[in-house]
Structure 1
């Protein structure tokens, strides 16, 4: 029973990321990429701090005692946010999302295969390679769709001038 709930929560989280990407992309176009990213991290930090303060149970280690390489994960969130806020207004939410998921899947396959970051090794198999190829195909199709749409829009603007 718990596993379906976890996957439902992951789907909701994924939908929230796409909505966030689109909204932050628009905000970034209006106020700037860095200001939009700052708002995301500042509000996220405040909400997370409150949740942590009231709901997080004590753990054996703290942020000050864990291996320092584990703190690098926070920097990847900054990279992701800056890239998405910059990219979405230029390529669209769907293309940015599929490209992001493609990068996530590729890195996840590598992490699983080699057991990086202390994870259990899960060797790459044909199913995972097929999934990556299908996702790459989806990215190509969305890219081509965007390219055709831009070409039509440019032709319409040229025709009306």
Structure 2
């Protein structure tokens, strides 16, 4: 693997670890302060960090932000759905089952976005290998949820 692939893989692994930990923490908060309270704590703490990073890194200008497609601006609202669904389901189904269903669904939607190049995605055909991989993941969802 080239250095770039190794670095990108490391970032993806870090993100995967963060998602699993966030799921656990959201489940803990859901039990104490409810789903809405957990979402609030999650996003306020994330917003504070984002503000610090924005001013520290001086990442982008207001002009550049105006060029963002309207549908991409729903990412924050989708984040609320993600955090809420993780907090609500992880504490009820367990982390493994909740995340297996969530990740399985992510693969199905990702496959469709790639196949059709929807919402700005680069079109990447869903060949037999990719379809088999997603099928195996769906089978894993079924096995894990039993």
Q: TM-score, normalised by structure 1?
A: 0.83
Q: How far apart are residue 59 of structure 1 and its match?
A: 4.6
Q: How far apart are residue 69 of structure 1 and its match?
A: 2.0
Q: How far apart are residue 17 of structure 1 and its match?
A: 0.6
Match in the other structure for 2:27: 25
Match in the other structure for 1:38: 40
Q: Which runs of 4+ in 1 moved over 6 A?
A: none
Match in the other structure for 1:6: 8
Whose radius of gyration is greater, 1 or 2? Answer: 1
**1:80 maps onto 2:82 in alignment:** yes
Match in the other structure for 2:131: 129
Q: How far apart are residue 65 of structure 1 and its match?
A: 4.4
1:3-38 CA-to-partner distances (Å, cap 9, x unmatched) read 111111111210111111012112111111100110
Q: How far apart are residue 57 of structure 1 and its match?
A: 3.4
Change (3 A) 1:20 1:112: same
Structure of higher RCO (CA pairs closer than 8 Å, 6+ residues apart): 2
Structure 1 portions without partners, runs of 5+: 145-161
**1:109 maps onto 2:111 in alignment:** yes
Q: How far apart are residue 76 of structure 1 and its match?
A: 1.0
Q: Which moved more, 1:103-112 or 1:69-78?
A: 69-78
Match in the other structure for 2:102: 100
Q: What root-mean-square deviation, in Å, do the aligned CA atoms of Structure 1 and Structure 2 show?
A: 1.5
1:78-130 CA-to-partner distances (Å, cap 9, x unmatched) read 11111111000110001111111111111111110000112221111111111
Q: TM-score, normalised by structure 2?
A: 0.91
Number of equivalenced pairs? 144
